[in-house]
Amino acid sequence: MRRMRVATLLPSATEIVCALGARAELVGVSHECDYPVGVEKLPVLTRTRRTLPRASGAIDAAVRDILRDALTVYEVDTAALREAAPELIVTQDLCEVCAVSIDDVRTALRELARADVELLSLSPLRLADVWGDILRVARALGREEQGRSLVQSLEARIEAIRARAATLDTRPRVLTIEWLDPVMIGGTWMPELVELAGGEALVTRPGDHAPTLDLEQLAALDPEIVLIKPCGFSLERTSSELELLRTQLPWSSWSAARAGRVFVADGNAFFNRPGPRLVESLEITAACVHPLEFAALARKHARNVRRVGTDLVLAPAF
């Protein structure tokens, strides 16, 4: 098998390439790629146009300002791309605030006069799209067999959880939160994860983009379980903004808060990356929705999720 020179410009693409056994073929990654361990040492081919603040509300405002100026949040490091000299670039055209835009990648390739580079763009909205993207990347790498094997193993793990959840008598109402200021509800594949885990997803349906809800709209909901996993935030970073729960959510009126069924999870490592670890994201969701029935998964992911007390103090989730 001939080894290719591959560049991945978003974390999920890096994870897919590595899961297909092509880690050694990577010659460059994005500035956000951090998994599997070691890929962060590869040449970095993207960067932010401006230094973003740390607080959720300030990040949202800064990103909106950038987009209002008809700019993108990230840009390609053309010099680094020239040096990496990839034959295949895997990027995305799903979200303009998640990674470099595909138009910027095309512009960089034109500047480098590299018409020979294959450009593969991913834009998944549902789980089936993610598995399809894995197969597309595998085909581009000449690893079709590995791609089929990987997808089959991921689907088998999902089916085991779905089948177990289907036997349960209750389907709790679940609200997943993608961002805290303003409050954005999890869309795309998140409603699928909730339904597969034996819950009823509130607000969004599979494939929907994440809507923004105000306090009045949130107060009209009565979730039994809330799963908070802001996009790009680690568990520790989200934990530093827990006071937002008092101001951005109807904290005192939600039954989930009173019952201690509000969970904070690692959105950066899981949930927000449309790659193989969405299966781990389903496992975490199942543990939160039905902790007794999925006790083994609760033990497996104990360090990746925390329970939020009524006093906003974090405790072990299970």
Complete DSSP assignment for the chain:
-PPP-EEE-SHHHHHHHHHTT-GGGEEEB-TT---STTGGGSPB-EEESS---SSHHHHHHHHHHHHHTT--SEEE-HHHHHHH--SEEEEE-S-TTTS--HHHHHHHHHHTT-TT-EEEEE---SHHHHHHHHHHHHHHHT-HHHHHHHHHHHHHHHHHHHHHHHT-S---EEEEEEEETTEEE--TTHHHHHHHTT-EE-S--TT----EE-HHHHHT---SEEEE--TT--HHHHHTTTTHHHHHS-TTT-HHHHTT-EEEE-TTTTTSS-STTHHHHHHHHHHHHSTTTTHHHHHHTGGGEEEEPTTS-EEE--
Q: What's the mean pLDDT in 29-34?
A: 96
Q: Are 13 and 136 in contact (CB under 8 A)?
A: no
pLDDT of residue 50: 78
Q: Are 74 and 91 in contact (CB under 8 A)?
A: no
pLDDT of residue 281: 98
Q: What's the whole-number average pLDDT of the chain? A: 94
Largest Cα–Cα separation, the chain: 60
Q: Is residue 102 over pLDDT 70?
A: yes
| List of residues 6+ apart from 303 with CB closer than 8 A | none
Whether residue 90 sits in one domain with residue 187:
no
Whether residue 174 sits in one domain with residue 88:
no
Q: Is residue 69 over pLDDT 70?
A: no
| Cα–Cα distance list, 278 to 12, 66, 127, 268 (Å) | 10, 30, 8, 11
CATH number at residue 197: 3.40.50.1980
| Cα–Cα distance list, 311 to 186, 238, 246, 307 (Å) | 25, 16, 10, 11
Tokens of 295: 């006790």
Whether residue 264 sits in one domain with residue 185:
yes
Q: Is residue 95 over pLDDT 80?
A: no
Q: What's the mean pLDDT in 207-234?
A: 96
Whether residue 279 sits in one domain with residue 212:
yes
**Which of 72-81, 169-178, 180-189 comes out lowest in average pLDDT?**
72-81
Tokens of 278: 């969405």
Q: Is residue 1 over pLDDT 90?
A: no
Whether residue 172 sits in one domain with residue 114:
no
CA pseudo-torsion sign 230, 191, 316, 243: positive
Q: What is this structure's pTM?
A: 0.96
Share of the chain above pLDDT 70, in %: 98
Q: What is the C-alpha to C-alpha distance for residues 116 and 93, in angstroms, rounded to an integer? A: 20
Whether residue 283 sits in one domain with residue 212:
yes
Tokens of 137: 């990347």
179 occurs within a structural domain: yes
Give the residues across from 121 on adjacent strands. 91
Q: Is residue 73 over pLDDT 90?
A: no
Domain termination residue (choose one: 68, 89, 123): 123
pLDDT of residue 114: 86
Domain termination residue (choose one: 123, 140, 160): 123
Q: What is the C-alpha to C-alpha distance for residues 233 and 169, in angstroms, rounded to an integer? A: 34
**Which of 60-74, 147-161, 209-223 comes out lowest in average pLDDT?**
60-74
Q: How confident is the model at residue 29 (pLDDT cuts 50, 70, 90)?
A: very high
Whether residue 10 sits in one domain with residue 66:
yes
Per the structure, the complete domain to which residue 234 belongs is given by 168-313
Whether residue 103 sits in one domain with residue 193:
no
Q: Are 186 and 210 in contact (CB under 8 A)?
A: yes
Closest to 84 in 3D by CA, of 47, 44, 115: 44
27 occurs within a structural domain: yes
Give the residues across from 122 on adjacent strands. 92
**Which of 91-95, 139-143, 219-223, 236-240 comes out lowest in average pLDDT?**
91-95
Q: Is residue 184 over pLDDT 70?
A: yes
Q: Are 29 and 45 in contact (CB under 8 A)?
A: yes
Closest to 308 in 3D by CA, of 230, 225, 250, 248: 225
For the chain, what is the domain count? 2
Domain termination residue (choose one: 69, 96, 123): 123
Q: Is residue 70 over pLDDT 60?
A: no
Give tens-digit pLDDT for 265-288: 999 999 999 999 999 999 999 999
Q: Are 162 and 185 in contact (CB under 8 A)?
A: no
- Determine the distance from the C-alpha atom of residue 150 to the mean position of all C-alpha atoms in its chain, rounded to a whole number: 19
Whether residue 86 sits in one domain with residue 30:
yes
Q: Is residue 100 over pLDDT 80?
A: yes
Q: How confident is the model at residue 253 (pLDDT cuts 50, 70, 90)?
A: very high
Whether residue 180 sits in one domain with residue 106:
no
Whether residue 172 sits in one domain with residue 118:
no
**CA-derived radius of gyration, the chain:** 20
